[in-house]
Structure 1
Amino acid sequence: MLSRSTLRHQVETHLAEEIRALGPQCLYVPLGPKVAEIFQHLQAKGLLKPEQLLDGLPHPSGANAERISYFLGSKAREQLSSKTNAAVLDMAKVRILAKLATLRSKGIMN
């Protein structure tokens, strides 16, 4: 989306306005890597703090059923097909859980 000027303009104008309006206490959970790219772009521009972005979740489409099952712990690593990169999902889960623990310790989340 960022490679197309019209879509990037929408992100940098309209989505950025919404982020400013919601403020620094808002958390963002992009579902899928393409949406995460958008929020990482806005984070690089200083609109979001790193702890506001809980990225790494698989996109919730039917094509990602195996990734979602593994991420949620209902499918074992040894049962995954070669199309699913367990290491990427494991790292994302560790990052998300660490951010949540930090937010809890700061009293931002219960």
Structure 2
Amino acid sequence: MTATARIHKYTWSMGDGGTVVCSGPGTPFTDDRGGEPSPDCGYTYSSSSAGLPGDSFTVTASSDWVIDWAGAGQTGTIRMDDLERSVQIVVGEAQVLVTN
């Protein structure tokens, strides 16, 4: 028997009301990208998590998978949806004043 699993999509609930849906793992960060936003699966918080319970946002990632299998002369597809994992993240804020 053989089975091949592939991600169908990730849905990120960012804890501040925002949601991001990604069809792949995203683009890894590299130093040469600097402060540019992610080209395919990014998110920018517009406020700090200070003052919330635990001073953090609860971020939940939900993944949907498609598994194709073959064996004993048969084939099929299995869907595994809404596999979830959550984590607390702290989002800080920096305020800068520039004068001439």
Greater helix content: 1
Query: Which TM class, normalised by the smaller chain length?
Result: under 0.3
Q: Greater RCO between the two (CA within 8 Å, min separation 6)?
A: 2
- Of structures 1 and 2, the larger Rg is shown by 2
* Higher strand proportion (structure 1 or 2): 2
TM-score by structure 1 length? 0.22
In the superposition, the TM-score normalised over structure 2's length comes to 0.23
